[in-house]
Amino acid sequence: MLTWHIGDVRITRIVEIEIAAGARFILPDATREACRPMRWMMPHFATNEGDLVMSVHALIIESEGQRIVVDTCIGNDKQGRAIRSWNGLQTSFLKDFEGAGFARESIDTVLCTHLHIDHVGWNTMLVDGEWVPTFPNADYLMAQKEWDHWRAEEDDAHTQAILADSVAPIFNAGLARLVDTDHRITSEVRLQPTHGHTPGHVSVHICSRGQEAVITGDCLHHPCQIARPEWCSPADSDSAQARATRQSLIKDWYQGQTLVIGTHFAAPTSGRVKQLADGGYWLDIEQ
Ligand SMILES: [Zn+2]
Task: Please give the average pLDDT of every successive group of 10 residues along the chain, which has 287 residues.
Answer: 97 94 81 94 95 96 98 96 89 98 98 97 98 98 96 84 96 98 98 96 98 97 97 93 97 97 98 94 90
Q: Give the closest residue to 169 by CA, choosing from 72, 261, 237, 83.
A: 72
CA atoms of 155 and 198, how far apart (whole Å): 17
Quick one: 21 exposed, middle or buried, by C-beta within 10 A (0-12, 13-18, 19+)?
exposed
82 in Cβ contact with 116 (< 8 Å): no
| CA 122 / ligand 1 centre spacing (Å) | 13
Q: What residues pack around ion ligand 1 (CB closer than 5 A)?
A: 118, 218
| CA 277 / ligand 1 centre spacing (Å) | 32
DSSP state letters, 15-79: EEEEE-S--TTT-TT--HHHHTT-GGGTTTTB-TTS-B-EEEEEEEEEETTEEEEE--BS-SS--
Question: What is the structure's pLDDT at 22?
Answer: 64
Question: What is the structure's pLDDT at 70?
Answer: 98
| CA 234 / ligand 1 centre spacing (Å) | 12
CA atoms of 210 and 60, how far apart (whole Å): 20
The radius of gyration of the chain's CA atoms, rounded to the nearest angstrom, is 18
Residue 265 DSSP label: B
| CA 71 / ligand 1 centre spacing (Å) | 9
| CA 278 / ligand 1 centre spacing (Å) | 31
| CA 265 / ligand 1 centre spacing (Å) | 10
| CA 266 / ligand 1 centre spacing (Å) | 13
Q: Give the closest residue to 186 by CA, choosing from 31, 67, 267.
A: 67
| CA 217 / ligand 1 centre spacing (Å) | 7
Q: Can you list the domains of the chain with their CATH numbers?
A: 3-284 (3.60.15.10)
Question: What is the structure's pLDDT at 20?
Answer: 78
| CA 1 / ligand 1 centre spacing (Å) | 20
Q: What's the pTM? A: 0.97
| CA 197 / ligand 1 centre spacing (Å) | 10
